[in-house]
Amino acid sequence: MITETCNYITFKLGDELFAIGVNQVREVLEISRITHVPTAPRYMRGVVNVRGKAIPVVDLRLRFGLPRGTDTVNSRIVVLELELEGESVVLGGIADSVHEVIEIEPANIDPPPQIAMRWRSEFIRGMGRRGEEFIIILDVDAVFTSEELAVVAESALTPSAVAGS
């Protein structure tokens, strides 16, 4: 249950509008050269060089069970900072487009529906309303399990991944 007014960054995957708390977003980048990591999970596109550091990049469409999209001029990498067993993990998520930072009050956020949802309810903190529009507020810490984050982080640290960046 969301009990306080928060700022969220909004982005699209397909036709759906999603939001992530700005406190978990480090920066938003244009799509740049992504180095493929052969041992990585299917949803991981590879790593990208961000100021000399190899940051793992996840295709959010694949992670949510959507078909792989085509990168466009609007595609962006949302660099997130997540918690992995008490440690901070930085990773990028590819979104079809990033829109704006908005403030949503708790009164405009409903709990996620338990049935008839296209998205797994454990990934969703709530359904924000803005006029007639619904915004799916993600629980990014729940989107990736500790094991998945460990694999993604480990893949980014392989010598070939860092050298290729």
Per-residue pLDDT reduced to its tens digit, 52-73: 888 999 999 888 888 888 999 9
Nearest to 91 by CA among 50, 52, 61: 50
* 134 is a domain residue: yes
Residue 95's pLDDT band (cuts 50, 70, 90): very high
The pairing of beta strand 87-95 with beta strand 44-50: unpaired
40 domain-assigned: yes
Residue 80 lies in a domain: yes
Q: Which two tokens stand for residue 149?
A: 């984050």
Question: pTM of the prediction?
Answer: 0.83
Give the type of residue at 136: I
Q: What is the CATH number of the domain that holds 121?
A: 2.40.50.180
SS3 112: coil
Domain assignment of residue 160, given as a range: 6-164
Number of folded domains that form the chain: 1
The b/e string for 24-38 (b: 16+ C-beta within 10 A; e otherwise) is: bbbeebebeebbebe
